[in-house]
Structure 1
Amino acid sequence: MNQINHLYIKEACVEGIQQAINAEKQGANRIELCARLDLDGLTPDIERIKEVTAKCNIPVRVIVRPREGNFNYSETEFQSMKQAIETCKALGVEGVVFGITTLNNKMDIKRTQLLVELAQPMKVTIHKAIDAIDNPVETIKELIKIDGIDTILTSGKGQTWQEGQELILQMMKAAAGSHLEIMPCGGITQHNLCEAHHMFKAKAYHGKLIVGTL
């Protein structure tokens, strides 16, 4: 079991400092820091980012999502995302997590590229906005062309990784041989992580309960 754990990153999704500390103690290799997990995660405030990055010894990625709902953002919301990314960079955050779509259910490649360039040298994860678009597999091929995107988070359009496994595998195939890592999510817990790894052989997995209750 311990040998298997070294093969992949366990990214724990947390809301604050105590959850982050608990996640690290329980074996998480990376943190995704959010506010309002009940709304699937919004941009946390600067004090929360400072506190978690100061007290955790594992990498922290911060979600940049200005509101709940869809991922088609107004110019004002886009500017707030840029500001949040600048803040994270100034605080020495390891990476940021975001996703932007167009009104016709495609990934907004132009705005994505602008944010990725702004984020450098931080790592970038494209979050489950990829599950909201019409053709994630084709979109992977476009995202590969953007230097600086490190990871794509997906549940394969399913509520769980089991429901979305076929699409996750197709996305992994599309990304094979590139710098992009597909990170499965969707109800991945300490109890089914080994089963998920047997299915996907991914380099990273994401979940609120991936190292147990926090």
Structure 2
Amino acid sequence: MGNYILEVCVDSVESAKAAVRGGADRLELCANLVIGGTTPGISQFKQVRKACDVPINVLVRPRYGDFLYTDHEFQMIMEDVEMFRKLGADGFVVGCLRPDGNLDTDRMKALREKAGKGRMTLHRAFDVCRDPYRSLKEVKEIGVDTILTSGQQDTCMKGKALLGELIREAGDETDILVGSGVNAEAIACLMEEIDARCFHMSGKVIADSGMIYRKEDVNMGIPGIGEYDIFRTDENLVSQAKKLLEAKTCLHKSIKTG
């Protein structure tokens, strides 16, 4: 086992600061985490960049839904990658598929070039692609640094078998960043059973709004999600994951050198 990575996905300055206090090694910055994340705003990035001294990867996803983008949407993705690169982003989280479910290698190559020296992560578009092994091979050829995946299942624990195979196939060329349902318990299991070392979590909890006056019968968003529920990263959940990673890594090193 080499060095570990604990990446925390955040969609606010408050969550970003909590994640760093908890020990995050890296942030994935997005907007609208409640719908899986979309491209963050410029001012949001600038404030997080100013407040946090860890690497920041920016999710570039123009909308909720599938990963088959129109020409206009792809142009937006390209321009946003260039913009955030100039603003000082350390990396980019992107993904494009073709109608047949395979990775859109032409567009991914164009994004790799647009990202310049920045790191690139293929996000969970990978989890709905047709052939994960083919996509992994293509990712290596393109020069994508990381694949964020749950093993093509709803959660990382359900996708454990495929995750283990991907980690072995990826070797030292591509990081397999385990996501979806990641917490201290899942980390302990996956480090032990499949030698996972890169993890992506949100550590989110629902905080109650500070509003005193509330119009409870008006809903402006997704049914089932209250207008006064605020999603925030919990510093303690991140800290628990961080401490576990450190302990497991130290134990492994001591066994190896002993």
Q: Would you call these one fold, judging by a TM-score over 0.5?
A: yes
Corresponding position of 1:173: 168
Contact residue 43 and residue 65 of structure 1 kept, 8 A: yes
Looking at structure 2, the residues matched to 202 and 191 of structure 1 have their Cα atoms a distance apart, in angstroms, of 13
Looking at structure 1, the residues matched to 34 and 97 of structure 2 have their Cα atoms a distance apart, in angstroms, of 22
Show CA shifts across 1:55-91 (max 9, x none): 1111111100000000000000000001110111111
What secondary structure, in the 3-state scheme, does the structure 1 residue paired with 2:93 have?
strand
Corresponding position of 1:13: 9
Looking at structure 1, the residues matched to 73 and 121 of structure 2 have their Cα atoms a distance apart, in angstroms, of 19
What secondary structure, in the 3-state scheme, does the structure 2 residue paired with 1:57 have?
coil
User: Which one-letter code corresponds to 1:77 in the other structure?
Assistant: E
Looking at structure 1, the residues matched to 203 and 193 of structure 2 have their Cα atoms a distance apart, in angstroms, of 19
Corresponding position of 2:61: 65
What secondary structure, in the 3-state scheme, does the structure 2 residue paired with 1:161 have?
coil
Looking at structure 2, the residues matched to 139 and 48 of structure 1 have their Cα atoms a distance apart, in angstroms, of 32
User: Which one-letter code corresponds to 2:44 in the other structure?
Assistant: R
Corresponding position of 1:184: 178
> Quick one: which of 78, 99, 104 aligns to 1:103?
99
Matches within 5 A, 1:83-98: 83-98=79-94
RMSD of aligned residue pairs (Cα, Å): 1.7
What secondary structure, in the 3-state scheme, does the structure 1 residue paired with 2:34 have?
helix
Looking at structure 1, the residues matched to 74 and 51 of structure 2 have their Cα atoms a distance apart, in angstroms, of 30
Tell me if 1:139 matches 2:135: yes
User: Which one-letter code corresponds to 1:48 in the other structure?
Assistant: Q
Looking at structure 2, the residues matched to 212 and 87 of structure 1 have their Cα atoms a distance apart, in angstroms, of 33
After the TM superposition, which parts of structure 1 deviate over 3 Å for at least 4 consecutive aligned residues?
210-214
Aligned length: 208
Tell me if 1:153 matches 2:148: yes
Contact residue 137 and residue 170 of structure 1 kept, 8 A: no
Show CA shifts across 1:127-154 (max 9, x none): 000111110112111111113x111000
Tell me if 1:24 matches 2:23: no
Contact residue 164 and residue 196 of structure 2 kept, 8 A: no
Mean Cα deviation higher: 70-79 or 188-197: 188-197
1:213 positional shift: 4.7
Contact residue 60 and residue 95 of structure 1 kept, 8 A: yes
Corresponding position of 2:191: 197
1:212 positional shift: 4.0
Aligned sequence identity (%): 33
> Quick one: which of 37, 47, 51 aligns to 1:51?
47
Tell me if 1:82 matches 2:81: no
Q: Which stretches in structure 2 are left out of the alignment for 5+ residues?
A: 205-234, 239-258
1:192 positional shift: 3.0
Larger radius of gyration: 2
What secondary structure, in the 3-state scheme, does the structure 1 residue paired with 2:67 have?
coil
Looking at structure 2, the residues matched to 37 and 205 of structure 1 have their Cα atoms a distance apart, in angstroms, of 17
TM-score normalised by structure 2 residue count: 0.77
Looking at structure 1, the residues matched to 236 and 120 of structure 2 have their Cα atoms a distance apart, in angstroms, of 25
1:196 positional shift: 2.2
TM-score normalised by structure 1 residue count: 0.92
1:172 positional shift: 1.5
Looking at structure 2, the residues matched to 108 and 166 of structure 1 have their Cα atoms a distance apart, in angstroms, of 25
Q: Which stretches in structure 1 are left out of the alignment for 5+ residues?
A: none
User: Which one-letter code corresponds to 2:187 in the other structure?
Assistant: L
Looking at structure 2, the residues matched to 45 and 21 of structure 1 have their Cα atoms a distance apart, in angstroms, of 17
1:12 positional shift: 0.5
